[in-house]
Amino acid sequence: MPAKQPIKIKSQGDNICIMLDATIDFDTITNMLRKKIADAREFFEGVSSSVAFKGRVLTDSEKQHLLDIIEAETTMRVTLADTDDTIKTPPQPVMATPQTPHKSPSNTNYTTATQHIIKAGLDPVSR
């Protein structure tokens, strides 16, 4: 039985998908990718493509490091394809600012339209 390949490079239309073994440490992956890309340099020469990394969850900096390896070993122009295999910083909750309803003074004569604007919490004089 052939040994499992820790890195597989596949063409998907105009994109390149690089499958990475999730059980191998990142330093080994980077060394193996560098060798694999260098060995297939002619395949990548002059190509402009999006690259997707699959098979393991990567941080943004790890993805950038892998892209840097590809760019250093080839003349390929690469961009990162949008994938869901990224460790992302969770969005920070947005604190809602309490809104107080805008009340019109009782002694002011407003038109009906202006009264609706005020009831909606908008400023009738701002533009």
Residue 19's alpha-carbon distances to 8, 53, 103, 125, in angstroms, are 5, 6, 61, 59
Alpha carbon of residue 53 to chain centroid: 12
Other Cβ atoms within 10 Å of 21 Cβ, number: 15
Q: Residue 63 in contact with residue 93, Cβ under 8 Å? A: no
Q: What is the mean pLDDT of residues 7-31?
A: 90
Residues 21-79 pLDDT 10s: 999 999 999 999 999 988 888 887 888 889 999 999 999 999 999 999 998 888 888 88
Least confident of 3-12, 34-43, 101-110: 101-110
With the CA atoms of 55, 59, 61 and 62 taken in that order, what torsion angle do they form, in degrees rounded to the nearest 10?
-30
